[in-house]
């Protein structure tokens, strides 16, 4: 039982159970604030729980308090202090150290990413000519999963983007009577930028996260180790089929996205800008050059590699348990989208200024 | 509780989908004893344990813990009972994404408003009690099976439970680690005055620690008492279990 016998004294009697600790703490804080010579009388405590002992040990270091305990409780507190009074080497770093650790950690990760990427390229390339060490039909299975199943969403979103992009530009072009230039806008915009980016962002969310989740789960459940022991290289067995199939699928999906996006523009051109089919078609042929398509394909192939490499990287570096899998998937998507847009910006600048 | 029994079960009957798993079980567990639940696989051991700690509800019968019928309690009342008991699951059931100390800190952080420093010291004390001082900042994935069991033991005892339930403490452990764990269990019983209810198959372990046993066969209580009594009882199934068959 806890009672305040006078303004300066807190007295506990009988059993000092763990569930009394919150109440005791409230009184203690009160006393600490309002009293100049506080006394805690514990001489009549018969038994105290661990939490109570731990808290008493903590406040016994507050010199302001006069703490009276019986022999038994005193020795329990001392024993607790002995048993808990060791330090674990927790690394408390200064700001500079932390910065160094963060920066060096980033470069270390970049290094391991580079090494992993080189390995994946090597095994994927070998896998093209020599299918030993990967499951029969795994490339086609992956193509079906990554490519075929993504067609509806890529097509729908590309159509909508093409449609709204054209609509917004059409409103401006109409003011100058420059209706026909809608074709230039949408053809160049879709093929060079929107097509590759939109498709790879969708695929990064769909496939990149799946790659990271699959590999990290395999790592946590020791499936990767099992493969290694069966003399199978996980990069060749698991990653290479994904690499190969996405290298094929993403450019195809990008072509689809480009065409469907341009069709979206066509719909606006016909319905809103009163362009005829012939005008739109002829202008499209004039504007569209092989050079644009070549850029578009180059971008989409690079993006497909980024998606697989980043997914694999976050998958392989996972540590811990079930929650880490979710984190790996999230980080892989964020990193992949970041890398895709960065690469796109660099490539666009290079191509535009013909460096 | 006055008669020294912390758990009293009367006529407990339970089942899944019309199949009876526990058939009219009655038993009592006395304060500060080690009570072992035995039986062949599928005999209803884990089911009985899950009924006692309220994870499952029986079809009929009563379960008294600390003299109160838990089946008639509301959530708050039952929670206050739960705060006085601890449970150690078969696989340890540590939260994988948290370090060892964070795992042990969960009940302290949720049920008390102690200072962080006090919490850290309590965790250190419990870890040194289970001989795992160096595991403080490790993740569960970095621990061996025996270490995981000991960490979850530290988590189970951090609030000073009066009853501790164990589901197969020695499962998957080597004989030496298992013997160490038994020693730890006996120490806890002596030092902290805990009552332990243990489900296990390990013969060696049972002989080392059990004060009293209950033997379940196909959901029926065929024996309840000390090991010596079991030896004298001459029940065939139990003799076979312990290897006491007549020569």
Average pLDDT for A196-204? 96
Query: Which residues is B166 bridged to in the sheet?
Result: B88, B198
pLDDT of residue A88: 67
Quick one: residue B213, left, alpha or beta (phi over 0 = left, psi -120 to 50 = alpha)? beta
Whether B32 shows a pLDDT value over 50: the answer reads yes
Within this chain, do residues B68 and B183 fall inside the same structural domain, yes or no?
A: yes
d(C-alpha B220, C-alpha B225), whole Å = 15
How many folded domains does chain B comprise? 2
d(C-alpha A194, C-alpha A62), whole Å = 66
Average pLDDT for A22-42? 83
Note the maximum CA span of chain B. Answer: 63
pLDDT: which is higher, A321 or A114: A114
From B149, B126, B131, select the one nearest B200 (Cα to Cα). Answer: B149
Query: Which residues is B216 bridged to in the sheet?
Result: B39, B221
pLDDT of residue B58: 87
Name the band, by pLDDT with cuts 50, 70 and 90, for residue B76. Answer: confident
Average pLDDT for A223-235? 87
Report the percentage of chain A scoring pLDDT > 90.
Answer: 51
| DSSP calls for chain B | -TTSEEEEEEEEEEEETTEEEEEEEEEEEETT-EEEEEESTTSSHHHHHHHHTTSS--SEEEEEETTEEGGG--HHHHHHHHTTEEEE-TT----TTS-HHHHHHHHHHHH----HHHHHHHHHHHHHHTT-GGGTT--GGGS-HHHHHHHHHHHHHTT--SEEEEE-TTTT--HHHHHHHHHHHHHHHHHH--EEEEE---HHHHHHH-SEEEEEETTEEEEEE-HHHHHHHT-HHHHHHHT----
Domain assignment of residue B30, yes or no: yes
Average pLDDT for A344-355? 91
Residue A89 phi/psi, 5° resolution? Answer: -65, 80
Q: How far is CA A251 from CA A148, A290, A297, in A?
A: 13, 15, 6
Does the beta-carbon distance from A57 to B121 stay under 8 Å?
yes
Query: Chain A neighbours among B 106-125 (CB < 8 Å)?
Result: 108, 112-115, 117-118, 121-122, 124-125
Distance of CA B138 to the CA centre of its chain: 25
Q: How far is CA B65 from CA A223, A303, B68, in A?
A: 44, 63, 5
Average pLDDT for A48-74? 83
Within this chain, do residues B143 and B166 fall inside the same structural domain, yes or no?
A: no
Q: Where are the domains of chain A?
A: 2-84, 122-352
Q: Which domain holds residue B29?
A: 1-84+162-247
Does the beta-carbon distance from A55 to B114 stay under 8 Å?
yes
Q: Hey, of B160, B161, B162, B192, which one would you mutate to test binding to chain A, going by the most A CBs within 10 A of its CB? A: B160
Domain assignment of residue B131, yes or no: yes
Domain assignment of residue B89, yes or no: no
Name the band, by pLDDT with cuts 50, 70 and 90, for residue A149. Answer: very high
The CA-based angle B13-B17-B21, given to 5 degrees, is 35
Domain assignment of residue B240, yes or no: yes
Lowest-confidence pick of A85-89, A233-237, B233-237 = A85-89
Instruction: State the nearest Cα–Cα gap between A349 and chain B, in angstroms.
Output: 43
Query: Which residues is A352 bridged to in the sheet?
Result: none
Average pLDDT for A121-136? 86
pLDDT of residue B1: 43
CATH of the domain at B26: 3.40.50.300
Does the beta-carbon distance from B96 to A321 stay under 8 Å?
yes
Three-state SS string across A120-134, please? Answer: HHHHHHHHHHCCCCC
Q: Looking at beta carbons, which residues of chain B come within 8 Å of A220? A: 141
pLDDT: which is higher, A267 or A222: A267
d(C-alpha A340, C-alpha A328), whole Å = 18
Q: What is the mean pLDDT of chain B?
A: 85
Within this chain, do residues B67 and B188 fall inside the same structural domain, yes or no?
A: yes
Query: Which residues is B87 bridged to in the sheet?
Result: B165
Does the beta-carbon distance from B122 to A84 stay under 8 Å?
yes
Within this chain, do residues B106 and B145 fall inside the same structural domain, yes or no?
A: yes
Whether A241 shows a pLDDT value over 90: the answer reads yes
Whether A90 shows a pLDDT value over 70: the answer reads no
pLDDT of residue B247: 53
Nearest to A25 among B83, B113, B122 (CB): B113
Whether B170 shows a pLDDT value over 80: the answer reads no
Q: Of 3.30.1340.10, 1.10.10.10, 3.30.750.24, 3.40.50.970, which CATH number belongs to A2-84? A: 3.30.750.24
**Which of A9-18, A193-202, B187-196 is predicted most confidently?**
A193-202
Name the band, by pLDDT with cuts 50, 70 and 90, for residue A333. Answer: very high
State which of B160, B182, B206 marks the end of a domain: B160
d(C-alpha A188, C-alpha A182), whole Å = 10
Strands B34-39 and B195-199: parallel
Average pLDDT for B158-166? 87
Q: Looking at beta carbons, which residues of chain A come within 8 Å of B193? A: none
Q: Is the model's pTM score more than 0.80?
A: no
State which of B111, B141, B160 marks the end of a domain: B160
Instruction: State the nearest Cα–Cα gap between B222 and chain A, in angstroms.
Output: 38
Cα separation of the two ends of chain B: 44
State which of B133, B160, B187 marks the end of a domain: B160
d(C-alpha A39, C-alpha A67), whole Å = 6
d(C-alpha A188, C-alpha A293), whole Å = 10
Average pLDDT for B59-76? 87
Residue B29 phi/psi, 5° resolution? Answer: -115, 125
Cα separation of the two ends of chain A: 83
**Residue of chain A minimizing CA distance to B111:** A19
Name the band, by pLDDT with cuts 50, 70 and 90, for residue B21. Answer: confident
List, for residues A246-289, the tens digit of each pLDDT value. Answer: 999 999 999 999 999 999 999 999 998 888 999 899 999 999 89
Length of chain B: 247
CA atoms within 13 A on the CB side of A9: 9
From B225, B244, B228, select the one nearest B236 (Cα to Cα). Answer: B244
pLDDT: which is higher, B105 or A65: B105
Q: What is the mean pLDDT of chain A?
A: 89
Whether B107 shows a pLDDT value over 60: the answer reads yes
Name the band, by pLDDT with cuts 50, 70 and 90, for residue A26. Answer: confident
| DSSP calls for B33-95 | -EEEEEESTTSSHHHHHHHHTTSS--SEEEEEETTEEGGG--HHHHHHHHTTEEEE-TT----
């Amino acid at each position: 039982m806890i009672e305040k016998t006078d303004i300066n004294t807190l007295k506990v009697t009988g059993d000092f159970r763990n569930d009394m600790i919150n109440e005791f703490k409230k009184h203690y804080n009160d006393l600490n604030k309002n009293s100049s010579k506080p006394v805690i009388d514990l001489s009549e405590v018969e038994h105290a729980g661990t939490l109570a002992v731990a808290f008493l040990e903590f406040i016994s270091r507050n010199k302001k308090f006069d703490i009276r305990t019986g022999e038994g409780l005193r020795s329990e507190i001392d024993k607790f202090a002995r048993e808990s009074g060791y330090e674990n080497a927790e690394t408390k770093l200064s700001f500079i150290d932390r910065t160094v650790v963060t920066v060096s950690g980033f470069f270390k990760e970049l290094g391991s990413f580079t090494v992993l990427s080189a390995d994946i390229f090597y095994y994927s390339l070998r896998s093209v000519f020599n299918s030993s060490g990967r499951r029969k039909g795994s490339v086609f299975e992956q193509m079906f999963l990554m490519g075929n199943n993504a067609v509806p969403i890529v097509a729908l979103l590309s159509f909508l983007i093409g449609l709204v992009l054209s609509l917004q530009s059409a409103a401006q072009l109409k003011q100058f009577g420059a209706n026909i230039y809608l074709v230039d806008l949408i053809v160049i915009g879709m093929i060079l930028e929107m097509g590759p980016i939109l498709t790879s962002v969708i695929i990064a969310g769909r496939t990149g996260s799946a790659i990271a989740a699959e590999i990290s789960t395999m790592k946590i459940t020791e499936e990767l180790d099992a493969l290694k022991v069966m003399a199978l290289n996980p990069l060749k067995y698991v990653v290479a089929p994904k690499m190969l199939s996405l290298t094929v699928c993403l450019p195809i999906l990008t072509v689809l996205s480009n065409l469907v996006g341009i069709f979206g523009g066509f719909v606006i051109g016909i319905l809103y800008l009163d362009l005829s089919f012939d005008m739109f078609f002829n202008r499209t042929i004039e504007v569209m050059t092989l050079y644009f398509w070549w850029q578009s394909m180059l971008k989409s192939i690079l993006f497909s590699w980024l998606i697989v490499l980043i997914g694999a990287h976050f998958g392989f570096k996972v540590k811990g348990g079930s929650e880490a899998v979710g984190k790996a998937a999230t980080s892989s998507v964020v990193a992949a989208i970041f890398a895709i847009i960065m690469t796109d910006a660099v490539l666009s600048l290079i191509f535009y200024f013909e460096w | 509780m006055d008669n020294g029994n912390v758990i009293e079960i009367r006529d407990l009957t339970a089942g899944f989908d019309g199949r009876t798993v526990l058939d009219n079980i009655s038993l009592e567990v006395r304060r500060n004893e080690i009570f072992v639940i035995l039986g062949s696989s599928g005999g209803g051991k884990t089911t009985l344990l899950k009924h006692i700690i309220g994870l499952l509800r029986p079809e009929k019968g009563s379960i008294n813990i600390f003299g109160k019928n838990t089946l008639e309690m509301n959530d708050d009342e039952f929670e206050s009972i739960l705060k006085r008991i601890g449970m150690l699951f078969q696989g340890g059931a540590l939260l994988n994404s948290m370090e060892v100390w964070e795992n042990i800190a969960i009940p302290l952080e949720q049920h008390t408003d102690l200072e962080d420093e006090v919490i850290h010291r309590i965790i250190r004390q419990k870890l040194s009690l289970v001989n795992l001082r160096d595991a403080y900042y490790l993740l569960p994935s970095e621990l061996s099976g025996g270490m995981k069991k000991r960490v979850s033991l530290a988590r189970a005892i951090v609030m000073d439970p009066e009853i501790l339930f164990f589901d197969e403490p020695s499962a998957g452990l080597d004989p030496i680690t298992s013997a160490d764990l038994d020693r730890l269990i006996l120490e806890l019983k002596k030092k902290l005055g805990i009552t332990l209810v243990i489900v296990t198959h390990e013969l060696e372990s049972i002989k080392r620690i059990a004060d009293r046993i209950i033997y379940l066969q196909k959901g029926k209580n065929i024996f309840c008492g000390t090991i010596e009594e079991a030896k004298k009882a001459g029940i065939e199934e139990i003799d076979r279990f312990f290897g006491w068959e007549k020569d």
